[in-house]
Structure 1
């Protein structure tokens, strides 16, 4: 099988990440998960190009007011939540290596704000093309989004590799003949690219000898439960949360909260994805242990 001549990548969760919403929701008195719930429920028109990014965010503000937040606090919450995010550095290094062998393009469910974000992050210079759902008029996981993207890129499905952290999107891409791989973390992205001949060596994805479960140790129960929900939604198991008193600690007030993880989304041992979990732990000022 020949190597793909086009690598089509999702943006968020593959090349870009955002800090958790929890601290913002705490600051503005919102239940955890509110911002994601409201924003995703209202995003459809903006990601299909029928509304602007600002109109979408205005709708989010209005919904927060409808749910009991004052107009001023709703505006403050949405302003704090409106972030550019950050580049996932190790994934970007892979993209740079792949571009020596084939074209790389982004296919993102995004609003008309996307070009500004990419420019601010410097990602507009790191890929050969950007295809936004707002410009296509249809969003993933609709198969039509992939058909239109390939028409824009003037490329065939059979010569395309698509990587996305959402398995629903990769399943949809396969229906139009694209080789699509669910890549929820760096090791799975590296493996997808390496196995298809897009990388020139086997730069590591962590210790090959590791095979056991891991514990994500966080200091706050709400943080642990939020992380567990995020991991469970991505396909990690078992994502059990329990209290843990560190060795030598006599005071239960000093206990940490532990998320137990045995397997990753690709059914490999959690320990093979240790780097990803350490990044997640760092977002919550926690750590990972065996």
Structure 2
């Protein structure tokens, strides 16, 4: 089974982080949580490219003024809040290792400001492509965001691994055939990359835990498709069905059918649940293999 040829990576929470807004809010005399409370409901037009980032931030400033914040303080708070964040260095090191094996692209819910932020952080040189919701006109977790991103990147869903710190985004990516993993922290990201052969040393590394994809091998195509549907409904991925001819044979009569599994419903490698899969395979007189 081949490794992914494209790593599609979320940005914020995976490769970039922001500090708390609290120090800024304290500095400008705003109740804690004000900036998030005001900005988030106003962000959608900028996130899908209907207005510029500059226009959105001006709208946030104006709303603060309407809420009773003096204009100079509102202006200063929004200006200080407009920052690029910081790179998560351990995640960047993983990305550099992966780029030795395949393409790496970012897919981020972001405004038209993102290219400037990436350049400031130096991340524009660390990935092969950047796709934003502002460019696509649709944001995660809409499945359409992933379809459009793959078209922009000219890549197949089946050859793509997607990692995101939000479970709902990973779930949406799976609906379009992408192998997607919820990676809320660095160990989860390392497991996802290592188990798919994207890091040196395969599944070995500093993060403990089982790794590896599995094949459920069944003798009948109908059984394989039925098992794949059952597994997909339960949250397994990618649940792709392939014909597996016996070595040296050309006759379809001598074919088995395999269901390819990389991650389980909990986003752990399929090998972590080998016993469960062996029980399922036994129902169809099949077996499980690496």
TM-score (ref. length: structure 1): 0.70
SS in 2 for 1:112: coil
- CA gap of 1:130–1:59, structure 2 versus 1, over 3 A, is same
Q: Shift of the alpha carbon at 1:205?
A: 3.2
Q: Shift of the alpha carbon at 1:42?
A: 0.8
Q: Note the 1:46-85 alignment, pairs <5 A.
A: 46-85=46-85
- Structure 1 contact 186–205 (Cα < 8 Å) conserved: no
SS in 2 for 1:161: strand
Query: Alpha-carbon deviations, 1:2-23, whole Å to 9, x = none?
Result: 2111000001111111111011
SS in 1 for 2:77: helix
Q: Shift of the alpha carbon at 1:162?
A: 0.4
Q: Which moved more, 1:143-152 or 1:64-73?
A: 64-73
Partners of 2:134 and 2:110 lie apart in 1 by 6
Match in the other structure for 1:204: 206
Residue-pair matches, total: 210
Please report the RMSD computed on the Cα atoms of aligned residues, expressed in angstroms.
Answer: 1.6
Structure 1 segments (4+ residues) deviating >4 Å: none
Q: Shift of the alpha carbon at 1:28?
A: 1.8
Q: Shift of the alpha carbon at 1:171?
A: 1.0
Match in the other structure for 2:182: 182
Partners of 1:148 and 1:129 lie apart in 2 by 14
- Structure 2 contact 105–128 (Cα < 8 Å) conserved: yes
Whether 1:35 aligns to 2:35 is yes
Q: Note the 1:125-274 alignment, pairs <5 A.
A: 125-201=125-201, 202-205=204-207
Partners of 2:50 and 2:44 lie apart in 1 by 8
- Structure 2 contact 181–267 (Cα < 8 Å) conserved: no
- Structure 2 contact 3–197 (Cα < 8 Å) conserved: yes
Flag the structure with larger Rg: 2
Runs (5+) with no aligned partner, structure 2 = 210-265, 269-290
Query: Alpha-carbon deviations, 1:40-59, whole Å to 9, x = none?
Result: 11110111111001000001
Runs (5+) with no aligned partner, structure 1 = 209-265, 269-290
- Structure 1 contact 9–106 (Cα < 8 Å) conserved: yes
Match in the other structure for 1:283: none
